[in-house]
Amino acid sequence: MTMTYQIKSVGRIDPGLKREKNEDVFLADDARGLYLVADGIGGRAAGDVASRTFLETVDFSYTDDDVEDLAAIINNCFQSAHLGLKNLAAAHPEYHGMGCTAEVVAFSGDRAVIGHVGDSRTYLFRENNLQQLTSDHSFVHEQVKAGIITPEQARTHAMKNVILRAVGIEEGLSVDLIPCTVMPGDILLLCTDGLTDMIEDGVIAILLAAKADLATKAEQLIEAANQAGGKDNISLVLMEISG
């Protein structure tokens, strides 16, 4: 694959301050232009197994041989992971109910395609403006869209962790496939809800705008989430685009 721009990435995972088990994973592969985060769900039903299986499946099945159909490649990765998780749960009753939310980003030249399921998120930071590129597949997001509650109310809603779509749960899987064109100076952020449940977008924007290297920005984001309570595992990948 020929990259029009260079990508420098940093990935981090932190357990947070409240959880005994880590159910997050990330992948940051600059050589292939492939990045992901996944957050296991199911609690006792092996959420950590779900997220790790998702990562291993995507890492194994991803191919950029046909970059003209990047969206189809990403969708196939999700579908393979979805089927693998369902088969694993069928073979191991103790895994029943496990699944994961996930973000996958793959690059070809100056094009990127985002695959999105659940309430992990992908953001674009460009010219000091932060834009959320994905829409949460969650109960509270649907309530906000319907005008029933405000975004502020959604942050503290009793059902804010109710996910409407996840890898490995339902019979079929619908994946949001979002095209994105990047340019030098852009930063893409993939993160699980352990970050966004703790700090608001305005804080994320301030930290990404800081005069610091990418690794320091990643550490500061995790530190901010933990200072705000650290109620969940925190995983993120930062990708910086340069000419």
pLDDT tens digits, one per residue of 158-180: 566 667 899 999 999 999 999 99
Q: Which of 163, 181, 60, 48 is nearest to 117 (CA)?
A: 163
More confident residue, 141 or 30: 30
Side chain identity at 218, as an amino acid letter?
A: A
User: What does DSSP say about strands 111-117 and 99-108: parallel, antiparallel, or unpaired?
Assistant: antiparallel
Average pLDDT over residues 120-142: 89
Q: Are 7 and 107 in contact (CB under 8 A)?
A: yes
Average pLDDT over residues 70-79: 95
Confidence of residue 6 (pLDDT cuts 50, 70, 90): very high
Report d(CA 169, CA 107) in Å as an integer. Answer: 28
In whole numbers, what is the pLDDT of the chain averaged over residues? 90
Q: Are 100 and 39 in contact (CB under 8 A)?
A: yes
77-108 confidence digits (pLDDT tens): 999 999 999 999 999 999 999 999 999 999 98
pLDDT number for residue 127: 96
Residue 157 pLDDT more than 60?
no
Residue 1 pLDDT more than 50?
no
181-196 confidence digits (pLDDT tens): 999 999 999 999 999 9
pLDDT number for residue 213: 97
Confidence of residue 69 (pLDDT cuts 50, 70, 90): confident
Average pLDDT over residues 224-232: 96
Residue 42 pLDDT more than 80?
no
The class of domain 6-242 in CATH terms is alpha beta
3-class state of residue 168 by DSSP: coil
Q: Where are the domains of the chain?
A: 6-242
Q: Which of 89-98, 135-144, 145-154, 207-216 has the lowest mean pLDDT?
A: 145-154
Q: What percent of the chain lies above the pLDDT cut of 90?
A: 76
pLDDT number for residue 173: 97
The pTM of this model reads 0.92
Q: Is 16 exposed, middle or buried (0-12, 13-18, 19+ CB in 10 A)?
A: buried
Residue 203 pLDDT more than 60?
yes
